[in-house]
Structure 1
Amino acid sequence: MATSTPYSHFSLILLSISSCVSGASIHRRLAVPDGYVAAPYYPTPHGGWTADWSESYRKASLLVSNMTLAEKTNITAGTGIYMGRCVGNTGSALRVGFPQMCLQDGPLGIRNSDHNTAFPAGITVGATFDKDLMRRRGEALGEEFRGKGINVYLGPSVGPLGRKPRGGRNWEGFGADPVLQAFGGALTVEGVQSKGVIAAIKHFIANEQEMFRMYNPFQAGISSNLDDRTLHELYLWPFAEGVRSGVGSVMISYNAVNGSACSQNSYLINNVLKDELGFQGFVVSDWLAQISGVSSALAGLDMSMPGDGAVPLFGDSYWMYELSRSVLNGSVPVDRLNDMTTRVLAAWFQMGQDSNYPSPNFDTNTQDETGLLYPGALFSPKGVVNEFVNVQANHADVAKEVARDAITLLKNINNTLPLKLNSTLKVFGTDAEKNSDLNSCSDQGCDKGTLGMGWGSGSARYPYMDSPIDGLKARGANYKFYDTNLFPITDKASPGDVALVFINADSGENYITVEANAGDRNIVGLKAWHNGDDLVKAAAKKYDTVVVIVHTVGPILMEEWIDLPSVKAVLFAHLPGQEAGDSLMQVLYGDVAPSGHLPYTIAKQESDYGESVELVGFQLGQPQDTFSEGLYIDYRHFNKEGITPRFAFGHGLSYTSFSFSNASISSVTPLTAVPPTRPAKGEVPSYSTAIPPASEAYWPEKFDRIWRYLYSWLDKSDADKAAAKANSTDKYPYPEGYSTVQKAGPAAGGAQGGNPALFDTAYTISVTVSNTGKVAGKAVAQLYVQFPTDISIDTPVIQLRDFEKTRELAPGESQVVKMRVTRKDLSVWDTVSQNWIVPNVGGDYGLWIGEASDKLGLRCGTSTGRCADDVKSPV
């Protein structure tokens, strides 16, 4: 999402004035490089054909059959920016028992609220490689959002995937690998929705940089140009798993894909998402991402947020009353409106929100108890808007556990860590202590003190910040803290002193610019912020033992200091949220051994990531970002090009050591080149397709309007005129390929997430993980697939397909870990047949198991059915 607190970011309003410009100039599909196509796909597939949603659709259809035109259009759009307690507020249909829905950020906690938990960010969760923690954090988030009366949790974020290391919002997701991202996203969805809250997985799709993402009066939003195979095997993979988990909503991104804006890209929404992936919930726009009315409806958009159209705060909308008009004049089929409405209601029923669901008890626009009920209105009534409901429960425990188990030990010479309790410490860097004015920067739009999260709509207010300095105090540590990012010339080092140097790197959403960085790290690149490199080097000159602790949104370059003799240990604490202190102390002092692993690759120089993944700068016309690297991002690229990174994807050290042995492989489901035929679609609700009478859109008599608030009604003369036009010869210019005939669906579909046969387990793999060291610790077993070498299809050397984290193992203790690979894991997307195929059914797939992508010690072969630990690693 990209909204802000009221009136604080004029850019939001300026960007949305796009509709004042000729539709022909910004709404048409602009030229993209040859070969990148957004083919038309109509009509929008009806929802309700999967058995696991049938009862919710039955209930929804009973309401829809009894709703008026204005009631239907009222619940498919927001009531306007800042027009209610939540960041997004739909209209209601109270006559049939449907209240306003509250939609609220964000992925790591309730944005702009109180008495909530500021959880670790998604990238931190990914670094745990712990499925149980991923799920439990989702459950805690669901409890808090429900407790505040929020219907829709605007998360998790699995797009951007992290193609660009400098990308501003990578930290909201779980890592630069589609499978790690998929597990993080799907388990979060399951956790959140287990509490009755609708999750809205985002941002669909290929929204890989912040700059130029939005359409504005002078320039179309950036076009991410990618081929069909790359779309399916990388960027769509996490969304498919989210849909398979039953996600209730999908949020569309700002950018275009192959020249067509995502908010009206019929290929992506109608074909890929709703037909191929069998998505049953509703598609919602990102805030102010909608750029047309009829076109977006026909392309499959179901809900417009926050509802505003041409100019926010002036009562203008692409939908609401305009959608009522478009249905009356026949340009938007009644069939499409009925499906939009049914999808919204079905998601509401699917999560059980029709029974004993709380109403919003907070206000995202103010921290005061009383305030404006509609802050965006010219004249708004006042009332109680915040009831200060405490939803934290014991969620700090899971937040701390995530923060602790994500901490990634990258270097530890001579067992410098863990520290001894009586160590004399010198602490350098402002990142060690919290900002003295916590939450003073709107949406965390500054880098002051301990970095617990990035900035933007994906942030949350801290109820408190347990900083590293707080942690040292609680330990009774012998330390001296220099609260500066310049090395103090007065400091004197004594023999045996240990220097703890705290550095960070920040990024966020581009409606806020921080230290000249417009969301993406466009100014600082991958360097540490605030002279971090110089601070480390200065400490390394004076101290024999330097421990570097990094809070960061993603990879940073370390070549200036990583090999200095004094730099004995390096820890990545990622973005720990409110629990930055004791979580770090538990690792620093050896209460627990570090067990985090890198969710991305750290290069030796930025150019090692590849030229095509650099940020796209200003271009005349629509900026073009062509994904010419295809499947080769992050470790896939490094392996293909033979580039040795500084630290590989999945790397993470411990205070102990582990062995992997006694691996075995078992065949479960025999493979075929093409999956078994997909199940046919089930029945869907059926309604009359007759255009309703104009009277269903008339303004109610003696209705007290709030100016700027968005309503779905029309003046009688406007409604009558629209109804009359339905019988005229002047028809809406429907797009190329437009049809109203429902399709049976693609071969790759058949259930939520795609053909259910794709998720059949092909092989199970068991491996014994043993703690061979002297202290307790947790290990992560990572499983990578290597496709047969004799196939003609180009595939990355290895690709992550599963992982499992052990419980804490005592010295000498072992645990048998089980993992699996599915049919889809062993398939590639065939762009001709538009299906997943196994390229060599009898070929020998290598299933590699180890502690990191560059530390794979075991190989199991699918053709031999044997595992060995005496083979050369593929990387």
Structure 2
Amino acid sequence: MSTTRLLHLALLSGLLPWSWASSPAETLHPRDDEAFSPPYYPAPAGGWLSDWADAYEKAYRVVSNMTLAEKVNLTTGTGMFMGPCAGQTGSALRFGIPNLCLHDSPLGIRNSDHNTAFPPGVTVGATFDKDLMYQRGVELGEEARGKGVNVLLGPVVGPTFRKPRGGRNWEGFGADPSLQAIGGSLTIKGMQSTGAIACLKHFIGNEQEMHRESSVITQGYSSNIDDRTLHEIYLWPFAEGVRAGTGSVMMAYNDVNRSTCSQNSLLINGILKDELGFQGFVVTDWLAQLGGVSSALAGLDMSMPGDGAIPLLGDSYWGSELSRSVLNGTVPMERLNDMVTRIVATWYQMGQDQDYPLPNFSSNTLDETGPLYPGALISPTGVVNQYVNVQGDHNITAHAIARDAITLLKNNNHTLPLSTSDSLHIFGTDAGPNSNGLNSCTDQGCDNGVLTMGWGSGTSRLPYLVTPQEAIANLSSNAQFYITDTFPSVTPNSSDIALVFINADSGENYITVESNPGDRTTADLYAWHNGDDLVTAAAAKYSRVVVIIHTVGPLILESWIDLPSVQAVLIAHLPGQEAGYSLTDVLFGTYSPSGHLPYTIPYQESDYPSSVGLLDQVFGQIQDPFTETLYIDYRHFLNANITPRYPFGHGLSYTTFTYSAPVLTTITPLDTAYPPARATKGSTPSYPTTLPNPSEVAWPSTLTRIWRYLYPYLDDPSSITSNSTTASYPYPSGYSTTPKPAPRAGGAQGGNPALWDIAFSVQVTITNTGNYSGRAVAQLYVELPSSDVLGVDTPAKQLRQFEKTGTLTPGESQTVELNVTRKDLSIWDVVVQDWKVPVDGDGVTFWVGEGLGDLRVECAVGGTCAVVDSVS
């Protein structure tokens, strides 16, 4: 890549999605050479919302008295491996603000000890259980706090399963924006109730792992997304996360509409901070910063881990260079002050000024002592691990999630549940332990033994693991194990039941597992380790076969799913540390399965739109046009009239449920197509704009320097002047210091608060009519009116709400209430730039049931509300 191209990348600003200039009826995607748009400047200041007023007032008092060095220190990471955490900022110790620790992962404390390895997001999503979503967030926050992690890097709501073979889909909650939104927002609320800061990620359009990053020799792919699709699919869960009060948002590696996310002024300044009213701070993904002044002006607030283009050289786009840019006037003091104020206000908002622990672990080693700055050539040593046990009784929640996510796809002849006296033959390495030992693979970067999670930075070490093999052996005295993926020579009796364990793995791009570079390139959508052949071989020998699948996402099951002897199939998703007994709870009938698919399982991969395949090329930037627009996963299958093997939301039970007495109630009338006008923005902190004294970033004479550590100091700051520099500086095209009018769709965290007015409520009574205790999941899908009402085509049905019952005994009933908001019924009007609903809900129909293939209730606004035969 040429120096000119690198400079161009460093200066690119936000790009307006193409359809901001389109008519509301247009749904076609632009050509890739049209995926470019005007910038959005300046960066809006935080602090104008009452929910954050106290925190911003405290931050203002502190930041007003900070030196330039202290301000820069808090915005810039100290460098790769320059502390115990994945990344840490500098400190402002005069004000009691320590180095802030930012650390993975969304399912547990990565590379630590005495932590819980919770099931990941996709498993949580499969529970459809809001209480578990929240409780897992609380316990993640408790463990982060206990370890001294200020910012826990999660939850993940992007990627969103646009690409079924995408490597990190499993970190999020599923293939639907509402499921992602509810899972993410409840996780944030739970985490931050403990004082830990959540970091919602990855913003936005990061839907495959290969070619995601830009560097000195590569350029990350560009996700080219039209405005309506961005708002209705990919932005939807981020808006809910901002509404939940997330303290930070992490930018993705890729470009969006040819502008790098970490310095895309439209995404950060325009959408996140202005339209969504985000009050916290924006942070890069690790080494995703590509420019200094450009990223600051585009709204970035914190760089991680702080290094420049090449890590471990001791240079940075910010640090001392940010100090220089402020002194020479290229980065306005207003921008720096807002960056720091956002960070400090978030620290106060979560109460981290009140005895929040310092880090007591090292992600670099499990030894008790070691180098304090492992990235330095020479480092002082000390105690780096105090082995603080933060697990508490969190195994209970982890177990409940792993159990209640288990999804029963098929159960012919009531094969399940099993009896502990049944003669069982168990096949597959996925039933057993890692043959090289627990946690023997860095960041779980292998597929050996039972698959508990994918691989990459979104993992944690397993504190222990009871495998399915161990759990079955402890409960059954009549089980034989063949922990191999090659079918052995066996002669079964007619009474024997085969349990076949198979899996499918994926992860983050920096690790390649069995030739899969994060994304499932070699494995495609098939089971790993010849798992399909193992099932087929067992089915040829046994009259009753139960298949148990641990998987990161959808699989093609067609080579064996209809074989007569394949009687039952369970997807156990990714169970985390509780793989064994969570499964036997369901296998042996202590609990009825209550999980539902958080994605669609097709008959063949070609059933997906061609635009969602993985992209790979050697030279030039990959352009990834989102030409399928709104129609991903089940939206596509409905739109294309393609019947899937198992639809989104599918999940069987050992018992049966009936739905009765549906009632539709209007709560807030939708008497206007657009929400009421937003409130005027409140005031924001105002600081003097005079440049600081250069001496504030002179090297302190008492400082003992650590080589490669990133500091805010300059050798000769007094020599820096601003007049000539700012006059000739190549600012990004369209850069302005004049604030833009407040977006009409904004007004509070997440957007106009009227968007969350409850418009309608659907109540339905669910009764257990079977012979087992069990839990039902009522899923509400919205069918919007035809295009002549809203002016655009809309997906046939869209999940907007769900509620899971308690455990109902045979004959027991529970009435659930499903509330639908104005936004749930809205489309994004690309011309008006606001959310539009059908007035009075005209033409809207609500469907409620156990999944898209099992809808039981139909309620038409202004019409009848009745139980219907199952509708798919």
Structure 1 counterpart of 2:21:
none
Query: TM (normalized to structure 1)?
Result: 0.96
TM-fit CA distance, 1:290: 0.5
Aligned equivalents of 1:619, 1:311: Cα separation in 2: 22
Structure 2 counterpart of 1:159:
158
1:720 to 702, 718, 721: 718
Given that 2:12 and 2:732 are in contact with CA atoms closer than 8 Å, whether structure 1 keeps it comes out as no
Given that 1:468 and 1:584 are in contact with CA atoms closer than 8 Å, whether structure 2 keeps it comes out as yes
Aligned equivalents of 1:351, 1:834: Cα separation in 2: 33
Aligned equivalents of 1:283, 1:563: Cα separation in 2: 49
Aligned equivalents of 2:358, 2:477: Cα separation in 1: 46
Describe the superposition over 1:260-292 as per-residue Cα deviations: whole angstroms up to 9, x where unpaired.
Answer: 000000000000000000000000000000100
1:869 to 864, 867, 870: 867
Structure 2 counterpart of 1:808:
807
The answer to which of 150-159 and 699-708 deviates more is: 699-708
Structure 2 counterpart of 1:6:
none
SS at match of 1:54: helix
1:265-304 paired onto structure 2 within 5 Å? 265-304=264-303
Given that 2:779 and 2:849 are in contact with CA atoms closer than 8 Å, whether structure 1 keeps it comes out as yes
Aligned equivalents of 1:336, 1:477: Cα separation in 2: 68
Aligned equivalents of 2:656, 2:726: Cα separation in 1: 77
Structure 2 counterpart of 1:12:
none
Match status 1:557 vs 2:541: no
Match status 1:754 vs 2:738: no
> Compared with structure 1, are the counterparts of its residues 585 and 871 closer, same or farther at alpha carbon in structure 2 (3 Å cutoff)?
closer
Cα RMSD, aligned residues only: 1.5
1:368-387 paired onto structure 2 within 5 Å? 368-387=367-386
**Counterpart AA for 1:245:** A
**Counterpart AA for 2:8:** A
The answer to which of 669-678 and 21-30 deviates more is: 21-30
SS at match of 1:75: helix
> Compared with structure 1, are the counterparts of its residues 323 and 649 closer, same or farther at alpha carbon in structure 2 (3 Å cutoff)?
same
TM-fit CA distance, 1:495: 1.6
**Counterpart AA for 1:440:** S
Given that 1:282 and 1:343 are in contact with CA atoms closer than 8 Å, whether structure 2 keeps it comes out as yes
TM-fit CA distance, 1:853: 1.0
TM-fit CA distance, 1:743: 3.3
> Compared with structure 1, are the counterparts of its residues 32 and 298 closer, same or farther at alpha carbon in structure 2 (3 Å cutoff)?
farther
Describe the superposition over 1:443-484 as per-residue Cα deviations: whole angstroms up to 9, x where unpaired.
Answer: 000000000000000010000111101111221341111111
**Counterpart AA for 2:494:** P
Aligned equivalents of 2:8, 2:480: Cα separation in 1: 64
> Compared with structure 1, are the counterparts of its residues 22 and 780 closer, same or farther at alpha carbon in structure 2 (3 Å cutoff)?
closer
Structure 2 counterpart of 1:472:
472
Aligned equivalents of 2:732, 2:616: Cα separation in 1: 31
Given that 2:10 and 2:291 are in contact with CA atoms closer than 8 Å, whether structure 1 keeps it comes out as no
Given that 2:276 and 2:749 are in contact with CA atoms closer than 8 Å, whether structure 1 keeps it comes out as yes
Structure 2 counterpart of 1:708:
708
Aligned equivalents of 1:25, 1:821: Cα separation in 2: 43
Aligned equivalents of 2:688, 2:98: Cα separation in 1: 25
Aligned equivalents of 1:332, 1:183: Cα separation in 2: 38
Query: TM (normalized to structure 2)?
Result: 0.96
Aligned equivalents of 2:603, 2:375: Cα separation in 1: 49
Describe the superposition over 1:304-357 as per-residue Cα deviations: whole angstroms up to 9, x where unpaired.
Answer: 000000221110100010000000000000000000000000000000000111
Structure 1 counterpart of 2:83:
84
Structure 1 counterpart of 2:457:
457
Structure 2 counterpart of 1:510:
509
Describe the superposition over 1:729-749 as per-residue Cα deviations: whole angstroms up to 9, x where unpaired.
Answer: 743222222111233410000
Structure 1 counterpart of 2:534:
535
Aligned equivalents of 1:591, 1:169: Cα separation in 2: 32
SS at match of 2:443: helix
Match status 1:585 vs 2:569: no
1:255-334 paired onto structure 2 within 5 Å? 255-334=254-333
Given that 2:292 and 2:317 are in contact with CA atoms closer than 8 Å, whether structure 1 keeps it comes out as yes
Structure 1 counterpart of 2:20:
none
> Compared with structure 1, are the counterparts of its residues 377 and 20 closer, same or farther at alpha carbon in structure 2 (3 Å cutoff)?
farther
1:382-781 paired onto structure 2 within 5 Å? 382-436=381-435, 437-489=437-489, 491-618=490-617, 620-671=619-670, 672-715=672-715, 717=716, 719-722=717-720, 724-726=721-723, 730-781=727-778
User: Structure 1, unaligned stretches of length 5 or more?
Assistant: 1-16
**Counterpart AA for 1:636:** R
Given that 2:274 and 2:742 are in contact with CA atoms closer than 8 Å, whether structure 1 keeps it comes out as yes
Aligned equivalents of 1:459, 1:27: Cα separation in 2: 34
Aligned length: 853
Structure 1 counterpart of 2:8:
24
**Counterpart AA for 2:173:** F
TM-fit CA distance, 1:32: 6.8
Aligned equivalents of 2:62, 2:574: Cα separation in 1: 44
Aligned equivalents of 1:729, 1:53: Cα separation in 2: 34
User: Structure 2, unaligned stretches of length 5 or more?
Assistant: 16-29
Given that 2:421 and 2:476 are in contact with CA atoms closer than 8 Å, whether structure 1 keeps it comes out as no
Given that 2:329 and 2:726 are in contact with CA atoms closer than 8 Å, whether structure 1 keeps it comes out as no
Aligned equivalents of 1:574, 1:149: Cα separation in 2: 30
SS at match of 2:728: coil
Aligned equivalents of 1:19, 1:482: Cα separation in 2: 58
> Compared with structure 1, are the counterparts of its residues 298 and 136 closer, same or farther at alpha carbon in structure 2 (3 Å cutoff)?
same
**Counterpart AA for 2:272:** L
TM-fit CA distance, 1:678: 0.6
Aligned equivalents of 1:237, 1:729: Cα separation in 2: 39
Aligned equivalents of 1:748, 1:20: Cα separation in 2: 38
Aligned equivalents of 1:302, 1:19: Cα separation in 2: 26
SS at match of 1:147: helix
> Compared with structure 1, are the counterparts of its residues 351 and 165 closer, same or farther at alpha carbon in structure 2 (3 Å cutoff)?
same
TM-fit CA distance, 1:36: 2.6
Structure 2 counterpart of 1:57:
56
Given that 2:482 and 2:488 are in contact with CA atoms closer than 8 Å, whether structure 1 keeps it comes out as yes
Percent of residue pairs bearing the same amino acid type: 63
TM-fit CA distance, 1:219: 2.7
Describe the superposition over 1:105-154 as per-residue Cα deviations: whole angstroms up to 9, x where unpaired.
Answer: 00000000000000001000000000000000111111111000110010
> Compared with structure 1, are the counterparts of its residues 599 and 710 closer, same or farther at alpha carbon in structure 2 (3 Å cutoff)?
same
Aligned equivalents of 2:101, 2:76: Cα separation in 1: 12
SS at match of 2:8: helix
TM-fit CA distance, 1:418: 0.1
Aligned equivalents of 2:2, 2:246: Cα separation in 1: 31
Match status 1:825 vs 2:824: yes
Given that 1:252 and 1:263 are in contact with CA atoms closer than 8 Å, whether structure 2 keeps it comes out as yes
